[in-house]
Structure 1
Amino acid sequence: MTGTGTAAWPRCGHLEAGARCPGRRVDPYPACLAHLDGADRAAHLAALRPGADLDHRGTPFTQDLLDELLAPLRDPGTGRARVGKADFDEVRFTGEADLRDVGFDAHCSFASAVFDSGLHFREVRAEGDLRLGRARVAGDVWLDDTRVAGDAWFLEARFDGTLRFCADEVGRSAEFRGMACAEAYFEGVAFERGADFADIRVTGKASFEGALFHGGSACFDGAEIGGDMPFDGAHFGADASFEGATIGGDLSFLDASCAAGVRFRRAVFRRTAVLGPLVCPKTVDFSDAVFESAVTLEVAAEEVRCLRTRWASTAALRLRCADVDLTDAVAAFPVSVVGRPRPFVSPEGEEIAEPGLARKQVSVVSVKGVDAAYLMLADVDLTRCLFVEAVHLDQLRLEGRCRLAEPPGGPRWTHRRTLAEEHHWRATRYPGWTAAPDGVGTHDPDVLAPVYRHLRKALEDGRNEPGAADFYYGEMEMRRHGRTASRGERTLLWCYWALSGYGLRAARALTWLVLAMTVTVFVTMLWGLPKTDPDPVSEGTADGRRITLTTRKPTPVDPDGPYARRLSGERFEKSLRVVTNSVIFRASGQDLTTTGTYVEMAARLVEPGLLALAVLAVRSRVKR
C-alpha cells in the first residue's frame, strides 16, 4: 500500500484548496468518481453491470455517492449488489459509511482509508480478502452477518470507537496485528486458519466469547487490553499465545476448550482478579508473568509453569491434574497452591469437563529459588519436588494431604517421607531409589541436611510434630553420611541410628532393650547370683553383766558347677527380678557376686536409656 503522496494510480485532475485530488481517475475521464460532472458520472454508472470490478482508490466518498455507485450493481429482484474486485484504498469518507447487502466475488479493500464517522458492514459476503489495514475510523466499526472467505486484514487499523467483528467466519487467516480501538467484540466468529492479534491496543473490553480458532494458533502477543477479556465457550484448535500481553481485567475461559497449550510468558496482569477456569490438555505457561493485583488462578492442565513469575499481591492458585513448576517465582504477598480434588463447576453448578487430562493429584515439581516465607502448599504431591536453593523453607506452610517420596520397599529401608533430592543422591549408590531426571543435578548430604532441618521447623511451627519427625530423621541421615562432621560426631550418629533410629524408631530401641535384658538375665544366672544366699552371722562377747554382739553378712560365694545346673527356674526368677528392678525401679535388693554387681551397674546405666529412647520414639509419633 502506498501513501497519497506517491499514489500508484492515475490521479484526478481536480484542484481543491490548491491541492490535487488524490482520487483515481475514472477511465476514460480526467476526474475521479466524486469529481465527474453529472453527464460523465451517469454515463459511467450506466455502463456498470453486476460483477463489475471497482477501483476508486483515494477518492473522496459520501454515503450518497457509495449508494449511487452500487445501485447499478444490484439485482432488481433481490436488491443485492454483486461486485468483482473492489479497491477503495485511501478513500476519504465523509459521514457514516454503510455497506449493506453486497457480495464481493474477489477482495474488498479499504486499506489506509479514512472515515470521519462510523463504518458498518451488513450482510456482506467477500469471496476473497476483506482489507482494512491502516484504516482510520473516527467512530464504531460493525460487521453484522458478514462472511469472509479469504483473509481478514486489519493490520494497524485505528478505530476511535468499538469494533464489533460479528462475522460468521473467516475462511483463511485473520490479521489484526497492531490494531487499536476502544472496545472489541469477536463473539462467535469462526477463524478457520487461526488469528493474529499481536500488539493490538484495546482501551476497554475485548470479548472473544464463543470464538472458534480452527486449524491455527491464536496469537495475542504484546496485546494491551484495558478491561476484561472473556473467552467463554471459545475453542482453540492449536496454541494460544499471550506472550508479553498486558491485560487490565479478568480472563474467563468458562466452557472453553483447548487442543494445545496456552502461553502467558512475560504477560502483565494489571487488575486481573480471576483467570479461569481454564482447562488445557497441555502446558499453561506463566513464566516471567507479573500479577500486580490480588488474583485467583483456576487451571486444569497437564503442566503449569510459573518460572520467575512475580506476584505483587496475594494469589490463590486453584489447580487440577497439573505438574507445577515454581522455580525462581517471586512472592511478595501470600501465595497458595492448592490441588482441587474435584473438577471446577460452572455458575449453574455443573462440573466442567476435562478432556485429555488424567485424573491425578496436583504435583509441585520445583520450588527452587523461591522465597517460601509467603508460600503455602495444600493437597499437592511433593514426591518429585526440588527444594534445594529455596530460601526461608522454615516458614513454608504445608497443609492438607501433601505426599512426599518414600524409600524403596523391603526390610533394608525404614518407612518415612523423604525428599526427591535424597532419592537422587542415594540412586547413585543403591538400587531401587529414583534417579535424578535429565538436567537435574545431584546434591551431597551436607547440602540436604539444612533443607530437612528447615522443613522440620516449618512443620513443628505448624504443630505437626509427627510429620516433622520424618524430616528430623532425614536431617540426621544426611548428617551421618555427610563429610563436614568430625569422625567422632559421625560415630555418635551411627550409634544413635543403630540403637533407636535417632530416637524415632521405638521397635528398634525395644529390640535392643529386650536383647540387653536377655543377655543380662543369662549373665546374672551364670555368674551374678551367688551359690547360696548368705545368711547374717552374729558374734559377741560377755563381760560380766554386759553382752556385745556384732552382726555381719558373709561375702557372696561365686557359683560353681556346670552351667546347665545354674540355668534353673529359681535362678531365672531371681535374675529376671534383678534385671527388671534395674531397668524400672533402679534397685533389686538381691545379694550378687562381684560379677553380678558390675553387670547390674551396667544394666542400670544402659537399659533405662534404651527404655527412654523407646518412650521418646513413641512420643514423637503421637505428640500434637
Structure 2
Amino acid sequence: MFHAPKTWREETIATALASRALLDYRGSLVTLDMIAELKDAADLDGERKSVITAAVRFDWSHFPDGGNFSRTHFAESAIFVGSTWSGDATFADCSFDQEARFTFCVFDSFVDFRRAAFNEMTVFSEARFGVTFPTLVAGSQAITWFGQARFLGKTYFTGVFFAGAADFPDCVFNEETRLGGLVVGGSFFSLSHATVRGNMHVTASAPMVWLDHITVDSGARLYLDLRRAEVSLQHAQLNEDVYLSYWSGEHGTTAMLSDLCVVERLGGSRVADSVHPRLLAVRGTSLARLVLRDVDLWACRFTGARNLSSLTMVGRRLLPRIRGRLRVADEVGWQRSLGRSSGGWADSYNESAMETRLKATTAADSATADMRAELRGIRSALPEPRAQDVQIIYRTLRTLLEGSGDKPGADDFYYGEMEVRRTAPRHEPLTSGWTQHALVWLYYGLSGYGLRASRAFGWFFILLLLGTFGLHVTTTVAPHSTTAATAVAIPGSPRANGTDTGAPALFPDALLSAFQLSTLPLSRTEPLLRYSRPGELVRLCLVVIGPALLTLALIAIRARIRR
C-alpha cells in the first residue's frame, strides 16, 4: 500500500473498515502519514478513540519514523509480527479487542503502551526493545512503558530483550501470563502495584526488580525465577503462594543466552556480584505465602515484615557469615545507626553501590509517582531498625530454622539475639535491671552463650591454675596420704614432737586435687589434702565453678559438631 496513490489508499481503507475486511500492510514501508490516514478514516467511539473495525496486518513492515497509534481502538486482530520501528512506538491508551501479536518485533527507540487494554491473547515473544541505544552506567536510556496496562487474556513475553528499563507498574494480568527468558539491560524491571489474577511465571535477569505493592489474588500463583537481580518486595498483598527462586539461565534460546552474556559482561556496576536473586526489603509484606529457594538474603531488611515466622526457605540460605556467625542486614543497619563498626560488612557488601543503583533508576521516570518516591534513596525505602526489631527478627528466624531442623543456623541466630540484648544502648534496653544485664554479660564472657567452647575451656584452665595455687598455699597433706607416710621426721620439728598437723601440700598434689574437685566433685575417693578454712573456700569454688564451665564447654562442642 505504500506505493499506491494517496486517494486509492484512502478509498481502500474506507471500504475495508465498512466491510470489516482485512487491511493488509505486510512488508510495507509505513510512514506517519499512512498511520494518520488510517486513524482519520476511522470513526470515534465514546472515549474519542479511532475505531479500526477491520483486522490489520503489519507483518514484517518497517516504520522508518516510528509510529503513533495512541488512542486507537482495534476492534479486530492486530498483527505486527516481525515489524521494525526506527523511531518511537506509541500505543498509549489503545484498546485491542482481539488478538494482539508483536512477535519478533524490533523497537529501536522508546516504546509506550501505557494504559493500553489487551482484551484477548497478547504475544510479544522474541521482541527486542530499545536495541540501538548505548549501554550507560545506569543502563540504556531507552524505556519500555506498560504502566497501567490491562492484560485480560493470556499474555506471553518469552525470550524478550529490553535494552533499557522494562516498566510494568500498576498493570492487571487477568489470565495465565508468561514473562519467560526476559533479559533487561536497563536499570530495572518493575511490576510495582501490579495485580495478578491468574498464574504468572516470570523468568528474568535484571539489575533491579521492583515488586512493591504487588497484589496476588486468591487462586493465582506467582513464580519468580530471577538472576542477578536485587528485589524489593515491600507492602505486597500476597493472597496466594509466591515462589522466588534462582534462575540459572537454562532452557533458554540461543538469542536469549547471547543477550544474557552480553548484559552480564558489559553491565559493569549495574550487575549484582551474586548470580542469585538478592532480596532487599519485605517491609509491610505478609511472608506466610512467600517461598524462597536459593535466594541471597545478604542485604535483606526484615524490619516491618509480617508473619516472618511463616516464611518458607528451601535450598541454600545465602546469609553473610561475619566473625564466625550468620547475620542479617538489620543488625548491621542498627549498629551503624549507633556509630558502631559493621564488623567487616562494608568489605563483604558495598551498600553505597546499591544506593547508587537505586538512585540511578530515578532517571527512568517511572509511570507511577509512588515508585518515583521510593527511588529517592535506600534510606527512605529501608528505615533503620531498632534494637527490639533486630531481637525479634533473630528470635523469629531461630524458631523458623529450629522447626525446619537447621540447628546450626538456629544457633547462629540465637547468638545474634543475645548479642543484641547485650549491646543494646541504655535508651533502648532489652534487659530488665542491671542483674539480668550482668548475667547476659557473664554468659557471653564465659562461653559465648553456650556456643563458644574455647572460652569455657579457657576459663576452666584459668580456674584450674588458680585453684592449684590456692590449694598449694592453704592446705596441708592428709596424714594417711602417701606423701605424709613417706615424709622424714626432722628432729625438733612438729612431726618429731608429735604435734604435726600435716606437711605443706606439694604442687603436684594440689594440681591433682584441683583437677579432681573440678571434674569429679562427688567422687568418694579419699582426699589428698587437709583443708584449712581458706582452703575450704578454694575447694568450694572448684566444686561449683569447674563442672559448670565443663558443662558449658560440652554444650558448645555439641553445637559445633552439629554444624
Equivalent residue for 1:170?
63
Instruction: Determine which of 313, 320, 329 is the counterpart of 2:227.
Output: 320
In structure 2, the CA distance between the partners of 1:419 and 1:533, relative to structure 1 (3 Å rule), is same
Which structure is richer in relative contact order (CA contacts within 8 A, separation 6 or more)?
Answer: 2
Q: CA deviation at 1:498?
A: 0.9
Contact 1:254/1:346, CA 8 A, preserved across alignment? no
- Secondary structure of the residue aligned to 2:224 is strand
Structure 1 partner of 2:531 = 593
Secondary structure of 2:556's counterpart equals helix
Instruction: Give the one of 412, 434, 458 matched to 1:470.
Output: 412
Counterpart selection for 1:376 from 264, 284, 291: 291
Q: Cα–Cα, structure 1 residues 87 and 599, in superposed 2: closer, same or farther, change >3 Å?
A: same
Determine if contact 1:345/1:351 at 8 Å carries over to the other structure.
Answer: no
Q: Which residue of 2 aligns with 1:268?
A: 172
Q: Which residue of 2 aligns with 1:210?
A: 104
Shift of 1:174: 0.8
* Aligned 8 A contact 1:581 1:588 in 2: no
Choose the corresponding residue for 2:471, options 524, 534, 538.
524
Deviations 1:290-331 (A, max 9, x none): 111222211111111101111113222111110011111121
Which of 448, 452, 461 lines up with 2:403 in the alignment?
461
Residue 430 of structure 1: which of 335, 340, 345 is its match? 340
Partner of 1:544: none
Alignment check: 8 A CA contact 2:330 2:384 kept: yes
Q: How does 1:179-578 map onto structure 2 within 5 Å?
A: 179=72, 180-214=74-108, 216-237=109-130, 238-282=142-186, 283-312=188-217, 313-340=220-247, 342-346=248-252, 351=257, 353-354=259-260, 355-357=262-264, 358=271, 360-407=275-322, 414-427=323-336, 428-433=338-343, 434=345, 438-439=379-380, 440-482=382-424, 483-486=429-432, 487-530=434-477, 532-533=479-480, 557=501, 560=504, 566-578=505-517
- For the structure 1 residues 127 and 86, does the alpha-carbon distance in structure 2 shift closer, same or farther, using more than 3 Å as the test? farther
Q: Is the 8 A contact 2:183 2:256 kept in 1?
A: no
Task: Call closer, same or farther: CA 1:403–1:558 in 2, change over 3 Å.
Answer: farther
CA deviation string 1:141-185 (max 9, x = no partner): xxxxxxxxxxxxxx9332344321225201113111222223221
Q: 3-state DSSP class of the match of 2:59?
A: strand
> 1 CA distance for matches of 2:546 and 2:95?
79
User: How many percent identity over aligned positions?
Assistant: 26
Q: The residue matched to 1:278 in structure 2 has which SS? A: strand
Quote the Cα distance in structure 1 between the aligned partners of 2:82 and 2:3. 26
List runs of 5+ in structure 2 lacking aligned partners.
131-141, 265-270, 352-377, 483-497
Q: Deviations over 1:511-555 (max 9, x none)?
A: 2222222322332233234364479xxxxxxxxxxxxxxxxxx99
**Structure 1: distance between partners of 2:406 and 2:88:** 52
How far did 1:337 drift?
1.0
Contact 2:476 2:503 (C-alpha < 8 Å) held by counterparts: yes
Query: What is the CA deviation profile of residues 401-452 of structure 1, one whole-angstrom value per residue up to 9, with x for unaligned ones?
Result: 2222344xxxxxx411111121122233333545875434322312211111
Aligned partners of 2:228, 2:13: CA distance in 1, in Å? 55
Conserved 8 A contact 1:527-1:559: no
What's the CA shift string for 1:174-201, capped at 9, x where partnerless? 1112222232211111111121112222
Give 1:471 deviation, angstroms: 1.0
Aligned length: 478
From 118, 138, 146, the counterpart of 2:21:
118
Deviation, structure 1 residue 277: 1.7
Where 1:337 maps in the other structure, the secondary structure is strand
Report the TM-score, using the length of structure 1 for normalisation: 0.70
Greater mean alpha carbon deviation, residues 200-209 or residues 454-463: 200-209
- Counterpart AA for 2:392: P
What is the Cα-based RMSD across aligned positions, in Å? 3.2
Q: Give the conservation status (yes or no) of the 8 Å contact 1:469–1:621.
A: no
For residues 32-71 of structure 1, what are the structure 2 equivalents within 5 Å? Answer: none
For residue 222 of structure 1, what is the amino acid of its counterpart? R
- 1:264 Cα offset (Å): 0.8
CA distance in 2, matches of 1:183, 1:92: 16
CA distance in 1, matches of 2:42, 2:115: 21
CA contact (8 A) 1:250 1:275 kept: no
Give, in angstroms, the shift of residue 254 of structure 1: 3.5
Change (3 A) 1:203 1:620: farther
Once residues 243 and 524 of structure 1 are traced to their aligned partners in structure 2, the CA distance between those partners, rounded to angstroms, is 82
**1:609 aligned partner:** 548
Structure 1 unaligned blocks of 5 or more: 1-69, 71-79, 98-113, 139-154, 408-413, 536-553, 561-565
Letter of the aligned partner of 1:162 in structure 2?
A
Report the Cα offset of residue 360 of structure 1: 2.6
